[in-house]
Amino acid sequence: MSRPWVRRSVALVAGATTLCASTVAFSASAWADDAVTEESITYEVVSDRIGAANIQWQDDTGRRFAAWAPLPWRADVRMRDPLGPPPGGSQVRADWRPNAYPANWVTVRIIYRGEVICQNTLDLGNAACYGITRRVT
């Protein structure tokens, strides 16, 4: 016959082992779910007349900035919610105000799953696109 304290100790060790194993399994599956939910998007800024622009864009690390980036400019990034609202959703902006002039067009666009979901073409010196706003002009 075994003693009651031995049975309780074995039950306690078995319970702790099960708890640890389920915690590790949950953590691994949660991490795998995060990796699966990230999607690839492409930002583009193009112009036939403007050679460079200040560009801001969003990815999973936050807002990014390129000072006077040469055009055409393109970035492929990973995001968890490309169609969501700012600040976590996709967004791209270009600022070329020092060189703005009528007919100096610049186009900013967001491409998601091979489709242009937002495109904005302006000659005002500043243009933006947001993934939550499906608009092509």
pLDDT in tens, 70-123: 999 999 999 999 999 988 899 999 999 999 999 999 999 999 999 999 999 999
Residue 27 — very low, low, confident or very high, per pLDDT cuts 50/70/90?
very low
Instruction: Go through 93-127 and write b for each residue having 16 or more CB atoms within 10 A of its CB, e for each that does not.
Output: bbbbeeeeeeebebbbbbbbeeeebbbbebbebbb
Cα gap 31→24, rounded to integer Å: 11
0.75 cut: is pTM over it? Answer: no
CA distance 65 to 55: 6
Q: What was the pLDDT predicted at 85?
A: 93
